[in-house]
């Protein structure tokens, strides 16, 4: 062995050495292959071209091809997944993942597919919700901007955060002009020059939920025009969108102008109608006084013309009064009035007329002054109307009209009773209705059917009531009740305005009575 050994080691050798072990820790021996270097080199050098190269080529090329194919097989799913993820990223969920039906990539693609579908579902749901919200917002926008009323909203600091189209059109201010501005600066609603809403709104912490309404407030448009608006405001408590108040306003300017034009027109038309009537009545009156030597028939003609002119005057007065009542234009000028002297004065004027018509008129009134808060000429009109009706429905010579006044603790009851034709039972409930006439077609009496309607309006405007009792063929009895005033009349108990004359509706200051 020693020799062999030395021989072996002395020569240049190419050796291969393997350690033989059963388990890593237990080496059982070693295998040693040794070849002479020369032999190996000879073999390599001499036979490389004829043997090794072809072998290498035959081995490497397929290996390369195979490795390429394997790489392709291995990376394709990865690339597909990558592409798919990129598609996902751009929001394209249309293509499903194509797994190869086996292996880990298939599991991944199945999982990705699920993720994709889930994502698509969630996103499409989110999209449809967004679309819904957009649609809702669009609707809200349309509604707000197609409203004819102005709408604006305020935040907690009272600044404008919403301003609809009508608000812009009415005020002449654009949304960009008012957004973020204090409402009291750009939208100052005033009543008699005073700001009305700022204090009421009381926005900020602890604001309470409430609703407020104002009628006929003033507002100035951007170009300085005065507007009249009705306003409704809502204060919202803890609104999640940060809206503290919502204000709606309705522009009344145009309808106000129209209404005023209408009233002015009626007033003007009435003025124009009264002017010729004044002359007819006036010149007939002069003729009646001055005409000498008229025959009895001629005098009758004159009387008839005078009475018709007077009737025309009453008719016009009543028609215009109804128009004023309907338009709410009548404003009663109330004073503390002594009702006792008022009814004594009125009866005295009516007495002349009643005597002319051959009716007896009597008055029964308490001795003490009776204070009422009233528009004197309006109350005179009520008494006038009731007595005129009584005269119409009674007969000359036998006709009796009796006015009685009873003072109760809180009110005064006045009854006008006559012994005339009376009113049919069926007509009683319609009597105070506008244009109602008992015998519409028979035309037994003249009139528009407005007198009692006007009486009712006047009495009710004074906080009183009016009623009727009647038996057909025996007579009628009209009663109106007026509340007593808590303020007493002055000791002298004279009224500060003088009743002009029956049927006249102006006033004269009573300077001469002391």
Partner 1 sequence: MAGSKTILFVEDDKPIAEMYSRVLEREGYQVEFASNGTEGLQKATSKHYDLILLDIMMPEKTGIEVLDELRGADGSGSPDTKIVILTNLAQDKTSQEALKAQADGYIIKADIVPSQLASIISKLL
Given the complex with partner 1, which of 169 and 285 has the nearer CB atom?
285
Which residue's CB is nearer to partner 1, number 232 or number 329? 329
CB contact at 8 A, 435 and 454? no
In the list 50, 176, 289, 410, the residue contacting partner 1 (rule: CB under 8 A) is 289
Q: Which helix (H) or strand (E) holds 275?
A: helix 253-290
The reply on whether position 122 binds partner 1 by CB under 8 A is no
Q: Which of 68, 283, 301, 435: binder of partner 1 (CB under 8 A)? A: 283
Binding status of residue 274 toward partner 1 by CB under 8 A: yes
CA distance 509 to 335: 13
461 binds partner 1 (CB under 8 A): no
**Binders of partner 1: how many residues, by CB under 8 A?**
37
Gap between the Cα atoms of 145 and 166, Å rounded: 7
Task: Using alpha carbons, select from 208, 196, 197, 200 the residue that is nearest to residue 244.
Answer: 208
Q: How far apart are CA 195 and CA 495, in angstroms?
A: 40
Q: Is 490 helix (H, G, I), strand (E, B) or coil?
A: coil
3-class SS of residue 378: helix
Number of Cβ atoms within 10 Å of the Cβ of 81: 16
Q: Does 184 bind partner 1 (CB under 8 A)?
A: no
**CA of residue 77 relative to chain centroid, distance:** 65
Judged by CB under 8 A, does residue 226 bind partner 1?
no
8 Å CB contact between 419 and 353: no
- The answer to whether residue 356 forms part of the interface with partner 1 (CB under 8 A) is no
Q: Does 451 bind partner 1 (CB under 8 A)?
A: no
268: its two tokens: 């003007």
Q: To 10 degrees, what angle do helices 339-356 and 376-393 make?
A: 30
Q: Is 514 in the site for partner 1 (CB under 8 A)?
A: no
Specify the stretch interacting with partner 1 by CB under 8 A; choose among 143-151, 233-241, 281-289, 428-436: 281-289
CB 316 to partner 1: min, Å? 8
Q: Which of 88, 277, 336, 461 binds partner 1 (CB under 8 A)?
A: 277
Task: Note whether 367 binds partner 1 by CB under 8 A.
Answer: no
Using the rule CB under 8 A, is 512 a contact of partner 1? yes
Give residue for tokens 């025309």.
312
b/e 413-423 (16+ beta carbons within 10 angstroms → b): ebbbbbbbbbb
Which of 2, 271, 426, 514 binds partner 1 (CB under 8 A)? It is 271
Task: State yes or no: residue 179 binds partner 1 (CB under 8 A).
Answer: no
Least Å distance between CB 282 and partner 1? 4
Of 176, 356, 368, 501, the one binding partner 1 (CB under 8 A) is: 501
Per the listing, tokens 């003609």 go with 301
* Interface contacts to partner 1, rule CB under 8 A: 263, 267, 270-271, 274-275, 277-279, 281-286, 289, 313, 316-317, 320, 324, 329-331, 333, 498, 500-501, 503-509, 511-512
């Amino acid at each position: 062995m020693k020799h062999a050994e030395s021989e072996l080691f002395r020569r240049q050798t190419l050796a291969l050495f393997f350690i033989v072990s059963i388990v890593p820790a237990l080496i059982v021996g070693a295998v040693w292959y040794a070849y002479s270097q020369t032999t190996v080199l000879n073999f390599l050098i001499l036979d490389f071209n004829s043997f090794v190269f072809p072998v290498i080529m035959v081995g490497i090329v397929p290996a390369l091809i195979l490795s390429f194919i394997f790489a392709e097989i291995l990376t394709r799913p990865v690339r597909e997944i990558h592409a798919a993820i990129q598609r996902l990223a751009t929001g394209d969920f249309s293509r499903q993942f194509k797994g190869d039906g086996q292996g880990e990539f298939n599991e991944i693609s199945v999982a990705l597919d699920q993720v994709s579908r889930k994502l698509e579902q969630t996103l499409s749901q989110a999209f449809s919700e967004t679309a819904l919200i957009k649609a809702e917002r669009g609707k809200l926008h349309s509604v707000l901007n197609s409203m004819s009323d102005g709408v604006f909203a305020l935040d907690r600091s009272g600044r404008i955060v919403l301003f609809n189209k009508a608000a812009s059109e009415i005020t002449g201010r654009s949304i960009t002009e008012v957004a973020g501005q204090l409402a009291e600066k750009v939208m100052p609603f005033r009543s008699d020059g005073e700001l009305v809403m700022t204090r009421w709104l009381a926005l900020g912490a602890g604001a309470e939920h409430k609703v407020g309404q104002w009628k006929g407030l003033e507002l100035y448009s951007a170009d300085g025009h005065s507007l009249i608006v009705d306003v409704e405001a809502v204060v919202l408590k803890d609104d999640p969108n940060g809206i503290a108040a919502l204000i709606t306003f309705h522009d009344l300017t145009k309808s106000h102008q129209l209404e005023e034009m209408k009233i002015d027109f009626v007033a003007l038309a009435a003025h124009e109608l009264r002017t010729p009537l004044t002359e007819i009545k006036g010149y007939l009156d002069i003729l009646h006084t001055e005409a000498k030597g008229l025959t009895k028939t001629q005098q009758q003609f004159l009387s008839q013309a005078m009475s018709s002119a007077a009737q025309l005057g009453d008719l016009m007065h009543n028609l215009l009064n109804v128009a004023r009542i309907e338009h709410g234009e009548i404003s009663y000028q109330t004073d503390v009035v002594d009702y006792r002297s008022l009814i004594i004065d009125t009866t005295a004027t009516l007495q002349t007329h009643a005597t002319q018509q051959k009716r007896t008129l009597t008055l029964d009134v308490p001795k003490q002054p009776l204070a009422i808060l009233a528009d004197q000429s309006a109350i005179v009109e009520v008494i006038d109307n009731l007595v005129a009706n009584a005269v119409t429905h009674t007969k000359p010579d036998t006709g009796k009209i009796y006015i009685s006044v009873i003072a109760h603790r809180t009110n005064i009851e006045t009854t006008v009773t006559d012994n005339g034709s009376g009113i049919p039972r069926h007509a009683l409930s319609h009597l105070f209705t506008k244009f109602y006439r008992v015998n519409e077609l028979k035309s037994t009496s003249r009139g528009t059917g407005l007198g009692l309607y006007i009486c009712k309006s006047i009495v009710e405007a004074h906080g009183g009531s009016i009623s009727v009792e009647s038996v057909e063929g025996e007579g009628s009895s009209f009663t109106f009740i007026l509340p007593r005033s808590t303020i007493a009349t002055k000791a002298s108990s004279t009224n500060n305005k003088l009743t002009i004359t029956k049927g006249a509706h102006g006033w004269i200051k009573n300077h001469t009575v002391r």
